[in-house]
Amino acid sequence: MKRIGVITSGGDAPGMNAAIRAVVRKSIFHDVAISGVYYGYQGLMNGNIKQLEVGSVGDIIHRGGTSLYSARCDEFKTREGQQKAIEQLKNHEIDGLVVIGGDGSIRGAQALSDLGLPCIGVPATIDNDIAGIDCTIGFDTALNTVIEAIDKIRDTATSHERTFIIEVMGRDAGDLAMYAGLAGGAESIIIPERKHDFNNVVDRLKRGLERGKKHSIIILAEGVGEGFQYGKKIEEATSYETRVTVLGHIQRGGTPTAADRVLASRLGAKAVDLLIEGKASRIVGLKDNKLVDQDIEHVLSSNHQLNKDVYNLAQELSI
């Protein structure tokens, strides 16, 4: 392995920069040259690639977003697009690629590996929707952002005795909503992985207010539906005044937490080690808090499992 490339793709996540820094510094530590691919797979197909040095990744460990920028690119999903990418990698003498991103991006890493260019996937997405690992890069930061918002909303909800619906990101996964609901003390948590009984949510609201609760907070995962529609439904069923907050993209940005920086540094460095060992088509991650690598195909063909115990506990504590 003479030269490694590093790319970020798909939705950005806080901690991507810490992962880029780890890939760059670990490569240089091993005397392997390192190139950065800008603007995701689109940039790769266009040859938007530059050599990186130790100093290129200075002062980024604490920044959200990605200093390599990101993009979504449909052409790369085609065999022709992937061949273009392979040509560019060859032209730039890149022997292996570290792909930092979500499941879509890591599928791209698999496709390039299948065409003979060894790739390692580093899971980074606030959705925490990758199977077989404890946590994706960016999840902890996003969770803390949601908690901060819930705490603020709780202050105003208490003052005005209102019911708040907070819509949380996560695509088809409910992890962000579930952990935020538990840590934020929400009255109800509604996520795509669990069928929810609307009447039960209404009963909980009524019971809470009857026993003198000053406010109610309902956390709704975006994968279930829209917060504003849900708020309307609650108003119709109860005649309680509701307020809706859609947290949106503030969940994607911000300074990565210490946990995300440490995770990203460990995973980025591990990805470089694997390429140097001659591995390909692997996805790195912490599993039961141990650094592991697993087959991309195997991981992406499995569904991320919701932690049942955490879900049940959140239900029990919000009676």
State the residues that interact with ligand ADP by CB under 6 A.
9-11, 41, 72-73, 76-77, 101-105, 107-108, 111, 125
Alpha carbon 5 to chain centroid, angstroms: 22
Half-sphere exposure (CA, 13 Å, Cβ side) for 106?
29
Nearer to ligand ADP, 125 or 257 (CB): 125
Half-sphere exposure (CA, 13 Å, Cβ side) for 55?
0
Rg (CA), the chain: 22
Nearer to ligand ADP, 101 or 184 (CB): 101
Nearer to ligand ADP, 107 or 233 (CB): 107
Classify residue 205 by its DSSP letter: H
Minimum CB separation from ligand ADP for residue 214, in Å? 39
Decide if 103 is catalytic: no
Cα–Cα distance, 73 to 60 (Å, whole number): 25
| Helical pair 227-238 and 198-210, crossing angle rounded to 10 deg | 60
Distances (CA, A) of 246 to 165, 187, 193, 249: 8, 17, 20, 9
Residue nearest ligand ADP (C-beta atom): 104
Minimum CB separation from ligand ADP for residue 163, in Å? 33
- Look at strands 33-37 and 49-51 and give their pairing: antiparallel
Give me the catalytic one of 103, 127, 260, 293.
127
User: What's the burial of 47, exposed, middle or buried (CB within 10 Å: 0-12/13-18/19+)?
Assistant: middle
Nearer to ligand ADP, 92 or 107 (CB): 107
User: What's the burial of 212, exposed, middle or buried (CB within 10 Å: 0-12/13-18/19+)?
Assistant: exposed
Spell out the residues 6+ positions from residue 28 whose beta carbon is closer than 8 angstroms to its own: 34, 53, 54
Minimum CB separation from ligand ADP for residue 54, in Å? 28
Of 29, 47, 30, which Cα lies nearest the Cα of 38?
Answer: 47
Minimum CB separation from ligand ADP for residue 61, in Å? 21
Minimum CB separation from ligand ADP for residue 45, in Å? 9
Nearer to ligand ADP, 72 or 287 (CB): 72
Minimum CB separation from ligand ADP for residue 41, in Å? 4
Nearer to ligand ADP, 136 or 163 (CB): 136
Which residues participate in catalysis according to the annotation?
Answer: 127
